[in-house]
Amino acid sequence: MTTYDFPQDLRDAQLALHQTRAAYEQYARTLPWSAEPMPGWEGDKHLHSDYRSSKPDSPGYTEDQHREIAAYRTRFLELSIVVSTHPFWATLERGAVVAGRMALKHTHEAVAAAADETV
């Protein structure tokens, strides 16, 4: 397996990207199922079970919730651009860039595992 000597600023940006995504997903789980007010619904009973899919009425997002979602998406986009356009990628051979980007996504896991081994 090839190892990469990622610059610290690139590793930091990738970690911030992971953290932003996790925070966004956690926040999104607290929101109503629809961004706009929508009536609830109940689906037909499934053929071989008593399961019936349904959703309650959705009040939609508040203005604060819309702003918070927009802020997460803006930050996510900014970090994605920093990571994907970092000058480090130009130092790799053409065929190694995709493998390098995939390795970068898991760099924080290797660092955490190494820290756990030293404790």
pLDDT digits (tens, 9 = 90+) for 23-33: 999 999 999 99
Amino acid identity for residue 80 in this structure: S
Q: Where are the domains of the chain?
A: 8-35+61-118
Task: Report the Cα–Cα distance between both ends of the chain, in Å, rounded.
Answer: 26
Mean pLDDT over the full length of the chain: 92
Question: Residues for the chain: how many in total?
Answer: 119
User: Which pLDDT belongs to residue 116?
Assistant: 65
Q: For 12-16, which contacts have Cβ atoms below 8 Å and span 24 or more sequence positions?
A: 13/79, 13/82, 13/83, 13/86, 14/83, 14/104, 14/105, 14/107, 14/108, 15/108, 16/79
| pLDDT, average across residues 63-73 | 98
pLDDT grade, residue 113 (50/70/90)?
low
**pTM, 2 dp:** 0.81
Q: Can you name the residues that pair with 42 across neighbouring β-strands? A: 54
